[in-house]
Structure 1
Amino acid sequence: MASPMKLLILQMSSIGNIVLSTPVVRCLKKQLPGAVVHFCTKPDHAPIVDSNPYIDKVHYQAGSLYRLIRQLRAEQFDCVIDLQNNFTTALIRKALGVQSYSVDNLGFRKWLYVRWKVNLMPSQHVVDRYLEALQPLGVKNDDFGLDYFIPYKDQVETDWLPPTHRDHYIAFAIGGRHATNRLPIERLVELCSKINHPIVLLGDKRDRVIGEQVEKQVGTKAIYNACGLFNLNQSASIIQGAWVVFSHDTGLMQIAAAFRKKVFSIWGSTTPNFGETPYKTSYLRLEKSGLSCRPCSLTGSGKCPKGHFRCMNELPFKFEEQQSRQQKENLD
């Protein structure tokens, strides 16, 4: 009888990508009898992986890469699964010297799309590309979507929110890693003014000032600025309790998908064509189509290279029209 496999998953890039990796973790654990699954990532991602019951042990890249490799070598893995496939993860794979499988990160196609606007991207979600890399192991997509596990201590109780937001609210993740991924303040105000439900604004401490301005300018609307008041797991708990979720292209968008929420996903300089739309949940893309300058970057940037920021400044908020157009695109 063959001994159980000891597997290492490499994924260090972002909160969103860690959440998008969860089907891989689950499918490996449940489909390979006795599999021991380790996960290697950055310390910032600890809230996501530490509570995942399908992960047996987590390794963190903090400081020396050489020290991390020595730590990983000592584990004597049977197989490495590289879901990032960049220079660092390739070094780790080579140093461990065991059987490995890597996702195709489509780097050249993405470069063509950003640099020359030549779209050769496949109509395939990144999660499906992740799982495609596992086919030699006999692992298949179970179609159960994304996972997110919130420890009991981070479950947000009803009375932690204002009375106006305890029964029925919309969560709006207003943050974003880069400026070109976020709506300008005046457009945030415009969008919030069109939402006829109590809104909880989510983001980190850097987003709190923006949230305060939105809260003040919208005025009579029931807006609760929760930016910077809750940690990642607590923000996820607020999303879990929301009716629907509005979000920029961020990790909270993927967390909303993990809870099967209806998502209004807002796209600026990046594009859903990179394959990172909300997975296995209902969603509506809010984006300015027909711009020859978009996408201008792979993950976003500090400012619009053209100076006009049309992708966000001219993004339409006509939800019914956009929903009809997206449904037509899906049929085509």
Structure 2
Amino acid sequence: MEEGNSFRMSGLKILVVRFSAMGDIVLTSPVVRLLKIQLNAEVHFFTKDIFGDLWKENPYLSKIWTINKDLKEVISALKKEKFDAVIDLHSNLRTLRLRFYLWGIPFYHCKKGSLPRWFYVQTGFKPLLQKHIVTRYLETLRSFPVIYDGKGLDFFVSDKETKLQLKPYIVMVLGAAHFTKRIPFEKWKQIISSFHSYSLVLIGGKDDVNLGKALEGSFENRVINRCGETDVLASALLIKNAELVITGDTGMMHIAAALRKPVVSIWGGTIPEFGWLPFYPEGMNRNKTIQVENLSCRPCSRFGRLECPKKHFRCMNEISASSVYEQGQILLKHNYS
């Protein structure tokens, strides 16, 4: 529910809230940019500690607020800021509590469209799901005199981060938060075999180290494993200097789009229609989507699962490695980098 739109519209101090996850936070970046550039607002962002670095080099933010577990870690300090408005792009129980703590400040809530996605998962009936989550975030600003500028996402990373002295190369993103978004080892081997004339860099978190090592060992001198070795900014720099990014439905997929990189996105238990496709500036589409069509058990959840509920994992095991290669070649021939 929106309330209070009678305050001044210049020189505002605005708190934007999104606690997780990586990709969702990157997708909020147009909101921050519009508030800063078009309203000259003092924009603060509130998230979890582990995601604070996503905003580290963003010039549109005045301050980043983070918590480890509980709102009470910063509530007293937030109250002292006397915000003119709060843009709630998470809309969950935690932000409901935040509204209680900051009672009296106008809150503007994102309508995330969770019900249609849940209904689709439960029934298989496909309602109108084409609205991108970025569009939903931007709709939260409808009480403000801002207009989407068509410039897509923002992600800022400087060359101060460790640069890989290797070009040209393709980045392959191994990590994903949920099992049903992860590309299996054998499928990665097929994909890597297809790109036999390219240097390949693997990125991921600590949970992906063994997978990265196994793939590196299977393709000596052609695959460089950086899983568990790079933080989010260093991984982003690897993406920034890559010719192509091959990834599942991950936060790094959205960072790649923010950096205007060509992406082959591979979809397992989730589907693009849920509104999380790579989001590029208007008139630009550098994504090629790969998925197993007409699989009755897809999508099996809105966000991903810890295991395949059918135990066969066909949504990933039946991905065509040759299709990944063909679509990647189309993007590489455009020479976007």
Deviations 1:80-124 (A, max 9, x none): 101111111122123312112111111211211122222224312
2:300 to 296, 304, 320: 296
Aligned residue for 2:64? 58
Instruction: State the one-letter code of the partner of 1:309.
Output: F
Q: Are 1:110 and 1:121, in contact at CA under 8 Å, matched by a contact in 2? A: no
**Cα RMSD for the two superposed structures:** 1.8
Corresponding position of 1:85:
91
Tell me how far apart the structure 1 counterparts of residues 220 and 325 of structure 2 sit (CA, whole Å).
27
What residue identity is the alignment partner of 2:150?
Answer: D
Distance 1:223 1:85, change over 3 A: same
The structure-2 alpha-carbon separation of the partners of 1:167 and 1:321, relative to structure 1 and needing over 3 Å to count, comes to closer
| Structure 2 counterpart of 1:163 | none
Aligned length: 314
8 Å CA contact retained: 1:245, 1:261: yes
Match of 1:111 in 2: 118
For the 8 Å contact 2:34–2:146, the answer to whether it is kept is yes
| Corresponding residue number in structure 1 for 2:29 | 22
The Cα shift of 1:149 comes to 1.2
- Shift of the 108–320 alpha-carbon distance from structure 1 to 2, 3 Å rule, reads closer
SS in 2 for 1:255: helix
Q: SS of the residue aligned with 1:115?
A: helix
Q: How does 1:182-221 map to 2 (within 5 A)?
A: 182-195=182-195, 196-217=197-218, 219=219
| Distance in 2 separating the partners of 1:63 and 1:84 | 16
Contact 1:180-1:268 at 8 Å conserved across structures: yes
What is aligned with 2:146?
Answer: 139
CA distance in 2, matches of 1:319, 1:170: 16
Partner SS state of residue 74, structure 2: helix
Correspondences of 1:218-297 after superposition (within 5 Å): 219=219, 222-280=222-280, 281-297=285-301
* Residues in 2 aligned to 1:321 and 1:201: alpha-carbon distance in whole angstroms: 16
Specify the SS of the correspondent of 2:136. helix
Identical residues among aligned pairs (%): 39
| Cα contact 2:191–2:324 (8 A) shared by 1 | no
Counterparts of 2:30 and 2:288 in 1: how far apart (Å)?
22
Distance 1:131 1:83 in 2: 10
Task: Tell me which of 129, 154, 157 is aligned to 1:122.
Answer: 129
Amino acid at match of 2:263: V
Q: Which of structure 1's runs of 4+ aligned residues deviate more than 3 A?
A: 320-323
Q: Please report how far the alpha carbon of residue 321 of structure 1 lies from its aligned counterpart in structure 2 after TM superposition.
A: 10
Question: So what's the TM-score if we normalise by structure 2?
Answer: 0.88
1:31 to 18, 25, 38: 38
Shift of 1:205: 1.7
The whole-number CA distance in structure 1 between the counterparts of 2:221 and 2:293 is: 30
Is contact 2:10-2:39 (8 Å) kept? no
2: CA distance between counterparts of 1:287 and 1:140? Answer: 34
- Aligned partners of 1:72, 1:80: CA distance in 2, in Å? 11
Bigger helix fraction: 1
Preserved contact between residue 202 and residue 225 of structure 2 (Cα < 8 Å): yes
Q: What SS is found at the alignment partner of 2:87?
A: strand
Structure 2: runs of 5 or more not aligned? 1-7, 328-337
Matched with 2:331 is none
2:78 to 72, 75, 98: 72
Instruction: Verify: 1:95 aligned to 2:101, yes or no.
Output: yes
- Check the 8 A contact 2:291/2:315 in 1, yes or no: yes
TM-score (norm 1): 0.90
> What is the CA-CA distance between 1:26 and the residue it aligns to?
0.5
Following superposition, the deviation at residue 8 of structure 1 comes to 0.5
CA-CA distance at 1:258 after TM superposition: 0.8
